[in-house]
Chain A
Amino acid sequence: MNLIGTLPLVLDVKTLFFIINKGLQGNVCGQEFLDIILMAAAFDQKVVVLFEGDGVNALLKNQQPECLNLKNMMPVLDTLPVYDINDVIVEKESMEVYGLTENELAIKAAVVSRSDIKKRLRSADHLFGF
């Protein structure tokens, strides 16, 4: 590590949960929300991305918003590991509501029960939704 000539820059690290509970297509808010998520990672914060409720459908493969001339957000989800965002979770109960299984998801996400998610949420500093 090169410390010579470098100011000791101490950035506070917070645990931030980003909750996606609706689709990412159809309006630009999902796209803009992903920008915040990536930015949090670029600021070296502890980032957790949570899909729950209707938002589990945002993980479906084969979404084709191009047919409406909308930007496809699915490839953007693939940037999460580029910025070292690996803590991606999806609520088990919401998956069951829509009868989804893990192999129907477009990206790697850990399936976690509602009660275990709640335990993790309680230790978060800030929660974001859109």
Chain B
Amino acid sequence: MLYIVNKKGEVLKDCVERLTSHDVILLIEDAVLAAVKTSPSSVISTLASDISVYALRSDMKARGLDAQRCYERIQYVDYAGFVELVENNKPVRSCF
């Protein structure tokens, strides 16, 4: 199952609490900030290793966020990759 999340805070938290094995989460829009390493660590760092975490590259770039500042587990996709995630996962839940 694919979760598309567009903001941090409660929306991301509600979503993260419901992720289970082999789910995929894609951070878009303002949610890409959750990919950045923080102190204390963000909820993204607490996720089990069998959950794939993606961030939309153009939303990172637009906000000046560099992959080097982000958790190592984050994978990056462009819009073509976004489409592939949608194609390869069902169902899709948009969290906004």
Q: Does A26 contact B (CB under 8 A)?
A: no
**Contact between B93 and A127 (Cβ–Cβ < 8 Å)?**
yes
Interface majority SS on A: helix, strand, loop or mixed? mixed
Whether A122 touches B14, Cβ cut-off 8 Å, given contacts A115-B20, A129-B96, is no
A19 to B1, CA, bound (A): 15
Contacts of A17 in B (CB 8 A): 91
Contacts of A129 in B (CB 8 A): 93-96
Interface majority SS on B: helix, strand, loop or mixed? loop
**A-B contact number at CB 8 A:** 27
Contacts of B93 in A (CB 8 A): 19, 121, 127, 129
A13 to chain B: closest CB distance in Å?
Answer: 15
Q: Does A23 contact B (CB under 8 A)?
A: no
**Contact between B91 and A127 (Cβ–Cβ < 8 Å)?**
yes
Q: Does A110 contact B (CB under 8 A)?
A: no
Whether A118 touches B96, Cβ cut-off 8 Å, given contacts A126-B91, A127-B91, is no
Whether A118 touches B20, Cβ cut-off 8 Å, given contacts A21-B14, A53-B14, is yes
Q: Does B18 contact A (CB under 8 A)?
A: yes
Residue of A nearest to B1 (CB): A122
Q: Does B92 contact A (CB under 8 A)?
A: yes
**Contact between B18 and A125 (Cβ–Cβ < 8 Å)?**
no
Over the window 8-48 of chain A, the binary record of Cβ atoms lying under 8 Å from chain B Cβ atoms (1 yes, 0 no) is 00000000010101000000000000000000000000000
Contacts of A21 in B (CB 8 A): 14
Query: Residues on A close to B: CB < 8 A?
Result: 17, 19, 21, 53, 114-115, 118, 121-122, 124-127, 129
Query: Residues on B close to A: CB < 8 A?
Result: 1, 14, 17-18, 20, 90-96
